[in-house]
Every structure is written in C-alpha cells, then in structure tokens.
Amino acid sequence: MMHISRPLILASTSPYRRALLERLGLPFTQEPPLVDEAALPGETPEALVLRLARAKAMAVASRHPQAIVIGSDQMAVLGEQILGKPGSPERACAQLAMLSGQSVRFLTGLAVICQAQGQHLVEIVPFTVRIRQLSTAEISDYVARDNPVDAAGSFKSEGLGIALFERMEGEDPTALIGLPLIRLTQMLADCGARVLG
C-alpha cells in the first residue's frame, strides 16, 4: 500500500465511492460532508455538480485543514431534466420507462482540496449511456433484482444495470459509478499523493 504525506479523506458516506477509492490502494477515511444539496434557482446541472463537489470537499477540509479531501457529486440528466434517485421501486420503474431508448448524460463533479498546500482542483467528468428499448417486463424484472432505488437514473452499472445498455460513451467508466478514478489519480498526484511509484 502506498503511503501519502497527508491524511486522505473521502467527503462522502457512499459505499460505491468508497469501493472505487479502495481500488487505488491508498489509506483513507470517510466523513459525511453535511451539505445542502438543493439546486439554486436557475442553476444548470453542470454548475450544480461543480458547486456541490466543491462544497462537500470544503466542508470536510474546513475541519481537517492538513488533509487532502475528495468531494464528488453526480447528476443524471435527460435533455435538461435532472433525474434524482427514485427512492422506491415504483418510481424506479417509471424512470426507466422514460429512459427507454434514450441517451442519459451523467455529470460527475470532482473536487480535490488540500488547504495546507492551497490546492483547489475542481472539474466535471461526463459520461453518456444509451439505454436499450426496454419492455415493461424487462424493467420490472431489473428493478426487482437490482433494487436501484438509491441510484440516479434508476440503474447500477456495476451490477445488473449493464444489461439495460445499448452503449456507453466516455473517457472513464468509473465516472458512471460516481468517482472518476482516472482523473482523480491525476488530481491526487498534483497534491502530492501518488498512487504509483
């Protein structure tokens, strides 16, 4: 396991983001950012994910100024409509019926902040998924088996959700799960936390 000079903190309680960050083999802790995630009036999805990723990282960094803090936020967008987490199987089925045959953009805001070094790195990593034409039976079966009620877009690409896809387009498939590791590795290196070497 690589050792880094500063504590590394993931400003998230997401088990999906934790599992992704564990792939890099760096020691880290998780801390809830406790940030209001409501959109501001007239805020675009892009502006929202950037603001929330930064706010989450800053909230934790303010409590741990010597740490390197990772914040992330993700929106699923159909046209200009933000798709929230469905929260129930019924709403997941309705959301997937709406997405059938459509392309869904995932915008993942990523922030790496190290107050002690004056580093504030923030950007969006986009990813697009084209959903196949889905029957009502396929949607019901998928929701019953994968229970995607806590997933934006009502599917889990790291699980059975991949069976819903016609194609995926983007530079980093981990962005779809909520933490773009390719870009994160570069941002961490800029803050002195190298994953390799």
Active-site residues, by number, are: 73
Work out the burial of residue 179: count CB atoms within 10 Å of its CB; fewer than 13 is exposed, 13-18 middle, 19 or more buried.
buried
Handedness of CA 175, 152, 10, 51 (dihedral sign): positive
Q: Are 53 and 17 in contact (CB under 8 A)?
A: no
Q: Are strands 8-10 and 29-30 parallel, antiparallel or unpaired?
A: parallel
How many whole angstroms separate alpha carbon 130 and alpha carbon 100? 9
Please tell me what DSSP assigns to residue 163: G
For 95, phi then psi, to 5°, come to -65, -45
Q: Does residue 85 contact residue 79 with C-beta atoms inside 8 Å?
A: no
160 DSSP assignment = G
